[in-house]
Amino acid sequence: MVGVSSPGIGSGLDISTIVSSLVAAEIQPKTIRLDQREAGIQTEISSIGQLKSALSAMQSSMSGLMTMSGFQSRNANLSDTSVITASAESTAVVGNYQVEVEQLATQHSLSSASFTDSNQAVGSGSITFEFGSYDAGPTTFTPNPDKSAKTITISSTNNTLAAIRDSINAADAGVTAAILQDGNGSRLVFSSDDSGANNALKITVDDDDLIDNDNAGLSQLTYDPVGGTAYMTQNIAAQDSQVKINGLTLNNPSNKLDQSIEGVTINLLTAKPGSTINLDVTNNTGAALAKVSSFVSSYNDVMSTLDVLSNYDAETEVAGPMQGDANLRGLKLQLRRMIADPVAHLDGDIRALSISESKPVKMAC
């Protein structure tokens, strides 16, 4: 009869340890290979991340080269920036302009008589604001057709100087109200939100005391010089800016002139009659050069990254982490072809960028 035997029993050998060691010896090479493979994949992922970052930077630099406006930038050069400032768009025509600021546009500003303090009651009824222009008299008031009148109700709950101010500001009536203090007390000040001669204020009231033209109650805030009732004082008259450009006088309700010279915006800072400012609109070649230089630099960074990832250094005997990768070789060839091919139908001398195996890309004819 054949018996069951267990090798090693009685021999004193540690069979369990021997078997475990043999199994571990069998598994270890596979584990090492897997670890090495994982490390290689991680290296490739990191390398692709580097390449992606370099390509993204090149793509961003190309955005400034995709439209003609990127090469048609203009400079606005001034002989005196204390009187005006200016900027030019790509649509501006290159040329020289002589600018003289005779007067600035202003906002109409009126002030009331003095009140004891901002909590003093003025009166009740309603206040109506109209916008327009006065003649030299003034004998006539011509309403601004682009602005409608605004009426604000003043009751016993909002009839103090401060409450009237707040009610007017909350009404968005095109007028800003403020309270100013002086040695005599508090004054209510009205200012038109917009500058220009056609934005002067006319203020009439419907006073609850049934008398709209006396210097009492809400009538104290009247400004109607043509109608003969003006208890508020004019501090700043409404006027247009007046500027001479190449000898031609131009009037504008604003101190920002963005239509007087096509493609040029002029900001008026101070009036200086008799003083001529020289405004030169020139081609901004530096901006175009900066855009091209940025692209060239980013392209060279991409090619350098490709070299580091795919080349083999014979001196150090160190290979790039993606040496031999066909996709990298193809990408490199495509980029070189894209840069080296001349652009057709260009009239100028520069039609391509040159490429050198040992030197970075540079501008060339």
Question: pLDDT digits over 69-107, tens only?
Answer: 667 789 999 999 999 999 999 889 999 999 999 999 999
pLDDT value, residue 30: 57
Query: β-strand 141-143 against 175-182: which pairing, if any?
Result: unpaired
Helix axes 285-310, 15-63, angle to 10 degrees: 160
Which pLDDT score is estimated for 364? 47
E strand or H helix at 21: helix 15-63
Please tell me the predicted confidence (pLDDT) of residue 304. 83
Q: What is the pLDDT of residue 253?
A: 97
CB atoms within 10 A of CB 129: 22
User: Rounded distance, CA 221 to CA 234, Å?
Assistant: 12
Low-confidence ranges of the chain (pLDDT < 70): 1-15, 18-19, 21-41, 43-44, 64, 67-70, 312-314, 317, 345-365
Instruction: Enter the tokens of residue 260.
Output: 């007087």
Contact 55, 330 (CB under 8 A): no
Give domain limits for the chain: 51-68+286-364, 74-105+240-283, 109-236
Instruction: Identify residue 280 by its one-letter amino acid code.
Output: D
Position 156, amino acid: S
pLDDT at res. 360 = 59
Q: Which helix (H) or strand (E) holds 6?
A: none
Q: How far apart are CA 279 and CA 281, in angstroms?
A: 7
Complete edge-to-edge strand list for the sheet that includes strand 233-236:
175-182, 185-192, 109-111, 233-236
Q: What is the pLDDT at residue 1? A: 47
Based on the number of CB atoms within 10 Å of its own CB, is 6 exposed (0-12), middle (13-18) or buried (19 or more)? exposed
CB atoms within 10 A of CB 257: 21
Cα Rg for the chain, rounded, in angstroms? Answer: 41
Whose tokens are 């916008």? That residue is 131
